[in-house]
Chains A and B, each alone.
Chain A
């Protein structure tokens, strides 16, 4: 509770300073803020009339630290940005450095990157849907179902990278290690089973009356606002903009796969929820093709000197379509061993900026659902 002068006791009694208004500080210790995040909410009854997101509780100077260390030294730190999707952060950073230094990536490494990125998307979206339903009050059941699937994918990550969450897998000019024997087959098995889970999830939840009532028409982000707020990822596509960096940039080998980009028309929580489900179906298609086509060969360009890496002076911006949206890294090099400027474009933070617009006029119970539907990770918001 924030104490803004006056006695707290009287504020409760009379409903706050303003007639009938209640100022509630949700967080930083609140079960549904997905980490240490605070929302100063002003309520009229249960209706939100003002909302101020307050973040920075998890700030740990990521960008400044990266400017002090070597290029490779920042790679493990990118794991900690979005701890749910370390592999996509790895890739975005590797892509930026490769652009800066003009490195080429072997084909097998490109495929491994696509496979790990899409697996990351699967587990992130599955868990996001579980978390959002948890915020809806579904007692953990959908979340545990999602975690069951996530476990299988994390097992794959573990055998590929040695770590389940902090993978630290990408290197400039390729990947750190080749897939161990039998990994491709194991991945094929996991991917082949995944549609069963999606069908189950869709059948149980997509047409559930309470889910529809709680999410349809709630937290609407209009199309032009979404564009102006620079939203990206499923949040942007739910608002009716068919923008996907995998299609526009065609980075990596994404031009070799046949997949579609689902688009929502309402921009509400239900659209964001369903788009993730549909995106997972497309990801499964990409994965099946990639696991089929993956060529043999080296996974890293052996000529790159990772230990003493000094790109020529210049600047580069590398971005990919992460599960949460556009994750980008902007680097300026002065020719030394550490970047002169290092800047992250975190999708969670930028999608979060439109939170107040989505929440105004909604009930306090909707705020947590809207927050859940944006899909944030505080490690990335606060950096």
Chain B
């Protein structure tokens, strides 16, 4: 349906914002807002940046949808919906309308205390893993060692000063 990858990414962003809304309606305010910051503010931007920097143009749009891809899509959507339905049907406590009243309202303060108390090791390890990933990404993104001239000036350009006159005359003749 959506042929352009950018549209798909933006729709994905919209659905993530919708999930955040569901979290907030369910009373998990902190989780919902964190979802918004992380997915809409960061991951979505990451994805569109990746799309922008993709250099192979044919990857950016889906040329045509075959019957097979339609079938696959519908099947996957149905499977997900079925799993969700089964999961929800067998979960107690969420059957009623208005999740906010039924669910346990967890204060942000308590959440923080749990993360920094009981689950501090897991929390810190996760932080460490992310830091390592960040450093790795920086190392990957660093430019290869190159002579200075190559980075800024064109290689076929004569060095400053010398060759200027010859080049100008050549240019005028051409």
Contacts and interface: CB of A to CB of B under 8 A. Distances in A.
B53 interface: yes
B165 A19 contact: no
B154 A49 contact: yes
Nearest to B162: A224
Interface stretch (B54-62, B79-87, B108-116): B54-62
Contacts of A224: 160-162
Contacts of B160: 222, 224-225, 357
Given A13-B60, A361-B153, A228 B164 contact: yes
Contacts of A222: 160-161
A10 B160 CA distance: 37
B161 A225 contact: yes
Interface in A215-255: 222, 224-225, 227-229
Contacts of A19: 55
A14 interface: yes
A20 B52 CA distance: 9
Nearest to B161: A224
B104 interface: no
Contacts of A49: 154
Contacts of B6: 13
A15 B55 contact: yes
B74 to A, nearest CB: 29
Contact of A228 (B52, B151, B152, B161): B161
Interface size of B as a range: 10 to 19
Contacts of A361: 151-153
A13 B160 CA distance: 35
A228 B165 contact: yes
Given A14-B57, A19-B55, A229 B164 contact: yes
A10 B61 CA distance: 10
A34 interface: no
Of the listed residues B53, B57, B153, B162, the one surrounded by the most CB atoms of chain A closer than 10 A to its CB is B57
A310 interface: no
Contacts of A357: 160
Given A13-B57, A14-B55, A19-B55, A225 B151 contact: no
Interface in A68-98: none
A47 B151 CA distance: 10
Contacts of B165: 228
Given A360-B153, A360-B154, A361-B153, A15 B52 contact: yes
Interface in B143-174: 151-154, 157, 160-162, 164-165, 168
A298 B66 CA distance: 93
A154 B6 CA distance: 56
Interface in B35-72: 52-57, 60
Given A49-B154, A360-B154, A361-B151, A225 B55 contact: no
B152 A14 contact: no
A50 interface: yes
Interface string B119-153: 00000000000000000000000000000000111
Given A14-B60, A49-B154, A361-B153, A20 B53 contact: yes
Contacts of B164: 225, 228-229
A15 B162 CA distance: 34
Contacts of B60: 13-14
Nearest to A227: B161
A80 B159 CA distance: 37
B52 A360 contact: no
A229 B161 CA distance: 8
B53 A50 contact: no
Interface string B3-23: 000100000000000000000
A376 B135 CA distance: 46
B151 to A, nearest CB: 7
A225 B167 CA distance: 13
Nearest to B55: A19
16 contacts: A13-B60, A14-B54, A14-B57, A15-B55, A19-B55, A47-B152, A222-B160, A225-B161, A227-B161, A228-B164, A229-B164, A353-B168, A357-B160, A360-B153, A360-B154, A360-B157
Given A225-B161, A360-B154, 4 more contacts: A14-B57, A47-B152, A229-B164, A357-B160
Interface of A: 10, 13-15, 19-20, 47, 49-50, 222, 224-225, 227-229, 353, 357, 360-361
List 7 A-B pairs, minimum CB-CB distance, nearest first.
A361-B152, A224-B161, A228-B164, A14-B57, A222-B160, A225-B160, A225-B161
